[in-house]
Amino acid sequence: AVDALEQRDPASLVLPATSPLARRTYIPRLQLNVLGEGQELAAVTRLCAAMGVRCRPFSRADLVIGQAARGLTGDRWTAGLLLFHDHEWEAALLEQALASQMFYIGAQGGENARVERAMALAARGVSEEDRARIRSPIGLIPGCKNPTALALSALAEIVGEYEQLRAAA
């Protein structure tokens, strides 16, 4: 079971028949790819560490505008979160995330950012079905302005969806 989880595959343990829990199912640990800048990126990284969530931060220093992120991967137990105020960083990164199996792909921004993002992705040939996978606004609390509150709101949404994956495993 441990080997399977380390390979990011679900695992089951069959317990003795006398146990009320004859079978236990485990899913790989939540992983979050967070791409962004500033206080929001720092807040998400800090909260992930406190929660024991495997966080892979990609800051502007790790990225090239208009290009896919080197080393960005995501399986079905991974979420992706984009935290940019300058949305021109997003198109190639969102295409890359949409090509993965990530169960959650979110991008911060208001209504204008969402409309511009959808138009930019459509112009790049991204299907309407794929564009619909992008969550925006992110989080459970609408309109968060405080970086820590935004991080908590987004992580609560992501963790909630991750926990629903257990039933499907």
Low-confidence ranges of the chain (pLDDT < 70): 19-20
The closest of 126, 136, 131 to 157, measured between CA atoms, is: 136
Q: Rounded to 5 degrees, what are φ and ψ at 135?
A: -90, 125
Structure tokens at 9: 């595959």
Contact 114, 121 (CB under 8 A): no
**What per-residue confidence (pLDDT) applies to 163?**
93
**Bridge-based pairing state of the strands 23-26 and 11-14:** antiparallel
Rounded to whole angstroms, the Cα distance separating 60 from 72 reads 14
pLDDT at 33: 98
Are 33 and 93 in contact, with CB atoms under 8 Å apart? Answer: no
Q: For the chain, list the domains and their CATH numbers.
A: 28-168 (3.40.50.720)
CA distances in angstroms from 59 to 33, 73, 164, listed in the order given: 11, 15, 29
- The per-residue pLDDT for 126 is 97
Enumerate long-range contacts of 114-117, CB under 8 Å, 24 or more apart.
116/87, 117/87, 117/90, 117/91
- What confidence score (pLDDT) does residue 25 get? 84
Q: How far apart are CA 105 and CA 32, in angstroms?
A: 10
Report pLDDT for 143.
85
pLDDT at 147: 96
pLDDT of res. 82: 98
